[in-house]
Every structure is written in C-alpha cells, then in structure tokens.
Structure 1
Amino acid sequence: MAGTWSGAGTVTLDDGSSERIRCRATYHVGGPRMTMGLTCASDAYKFNLAADVQAEGNAVTGSWSESSRNVNGDLRGRGGGGNFQVVASAPGFNADIAMRTAGNKQSVTIRADSQFRGANITLSK
C-alpha cells in the first residue's frame, strides 16, 4: 500500500447531486503504523483527508482530520492485508470508510451522515 496513488471517482452531496472528482493518495507505512493523505477535487468541491492509524492484530485505531472544513476525530475498525473497514467519527459527524487494495488497484468507499453523503473512488499506483 505504501506510495502514491491517483485516480477518479464521484462525490455525492446531501441534495442528491454528484460530481466527478480527481484524487491523489499518499500512504507511508512503518510496522503496524500507517499515515495517509487523500486529496480529492472537482470544479466545485474539494476535500483533504489525513489519517494516522495503528494496527494491533486486526483492530485498527487512530485519528483523522479534514483540513478544508477544520474537522477531526477518531478512527476505529478492522483491517489487514490491504483491506480496511473503519468508522470515522467526530462531534456531529460519522462516516463508514472501506478500502480494498489488490495489486496496483485500490477502491475507497465513504458513506457519511452529513452534507457530504459519500464518495466512490478508484485509485491506481
């Protein structure tokens, strides 16, 4: 998973509208710890997600932040072998995030309960 990935997808907003986005992700892996940066943008929408997670067995815990909206919180879930299923939470915000990595392809699915409803992103290394 370590390295730089790029690709595209769609973001869905609370009014039901969706936009195509371009994304770039960077992962740094060291032992049981991983840091991640994901930036996605369209003509009218952008988000900058950062996370710092640690694995203990199959359990994954850590913290996340989204800099363009100044939101941050905790991550909890399960993962291993390039596949992660986590819940990102902050006051007034919860999102389910699934990441699947196979070879040089990665899919990221985010489902949230805020004005940002979700994203489906496909990345390649």
Structure 2
Amino acid sequence: MTLRSAIGRLAVIAIAALFIVVPRSPSYADPSPFDTLLGSWGGTGEIRLDKGRKERLKCNAYYTGGGSDLGLAIRCQSDNYKIEIRSKLSYSGGRLSGNWEERTFNASGTATGTATPSKLSLAIKGGGITASMLVNYTKASQNVNISVQGVALQGVRIALGRS
C-alpha cells in the first residue's frame, strides 16, 4: 500500500465518520391542524334568517382524513329547515383550499382560507352565495359560525362536543 492510497483511505474513513457522528438537522413537517377535528361531533345551534327570525338547530358533524386533507360533513335540522354542508379541504403552509356543497339547496363552490391547530377560517363562494366560516376547536369542543351575505339565510351558529 502506497502512502497516497493510505491517505485516500483515511480521508474516505474520516468523511464517513463525519456523516455518522455529526447530527443531522431534523426535518419537521407542518403539523396538521386537522387531526384534532377527526371523528364524530354532536350539538345544538341556531339558524339566523332575514327579518330577525331564528330557529334552534340540532346538529351532527363528521370529519375524516387527516394530514393535509380534511373531509367534513355538517348536518343540522330545525322544525322548518335542514342544512347539509360537505367540504373537502387541503392544507399546505397554513393555507386551506378546496370545495364545498350544500345538498339541501343544491349549491356549491370554492373554499379558501387559513388554518391553525385550533382554528379554521374560510371564505366560501359559489352558487350565488358569499359566506365566511369560522371553526374554533379543542379536543373536546368546537364552535362553528357561518355568516352568509345576499340571501335570506344570514347565518348559522353551532356548539359541538365529541359524540
């Protein structure tokens, strides 16, 4: 073995040891804001209509997916109204995007917004509707507030707990 090949081998061993000994920076993925929501929820709320009319609601919500994807279904019913909202959302870098539909009134459109580990904030457009939806949540409870412009339905407020 020549001096040159011995130095070459030593250099290769030193570089390999450096990769083994030097700790690598951990790479952390964005934590999903959706994981806390997953599962079934139930509760009550109120539908607000034009001219100050209000009705009590009984509601169920279901969240599926996780990671960067969330499917949601919220079903509410009062004595005179039925609401069924469905949405599929994607999360990336704190931003939300996706689609929504309200099955009772056959309306659909897009949803965009932001997410944190305790709040979703959405702008909803389409089907002649412009609305905002705010969901504040913990592991045990959530509050959903939907405000609508331009139609007789002015909004929905719902308080939910784990089913």
**Bucket of the pairwise TM-score, normalised by the shorter protein:** over 0.9
The match for 1:117 is: 154
The match for 2:82 is: 46
Q: Which has the higher contact order (CA 8 A, sep 6+)?
A: 1
Whole-angstrom distance in 2 between the partners of 1:30 and 1:117: 31
The match for 1:73 is: 109
Whole-angstrom distance in 2 between the partners of 1:75 and 1:55: 12
Whole-angstrom distance in 2 between the partners of 1:66 and 1:55: 21
What's the TM-score once normalised by structure 2's chain length?
Answer: 0.75
The structure carrying a bigger helix percent of its residues is 2
What's the TM-score once normalised by structure 1's chain length?
Answer: 0.97
Question: How do 1:1-125 residues align onto structure 2 when only pairs under 5 Å count?
Answer: 1-113=37-149, 114-125=151-162
- The alignment covers a number of residue pairs equal to 125
Whole-angstrom distance in 2 between the partners of 1:82 and 1:63: 21
Q: What CA RMSD, in Å, does the superposition of the two structures yield over aligned residues? A: 0.9
Gap regions ≥5 residues in structure 1:
none
Query: In the TM superposition, what whole-angstrom CA distance separates every residue of 1:55-80 from its partner, at most 9, and x where no partner exists?
Result: 01110000000001000000000012
Larger Rg: 2
The match for 2:23 is: none
Query: In the TM superposition, what whole-angstrom CA distance separates every residue of 1:29-86 from its partner, at most 9, and x where no partner exists?
Result: 2320000000000110111000000001110000000001000000000012131010
Identity level (%): 27
1:116: Cα distance to partner? 0.9
AA aligned to 2:71 is: T
Gap regions ≥5 residues in structure 2:
1-36
Whole-angstrom distance in 1 between the partners of 2:51 and 2:73: 27
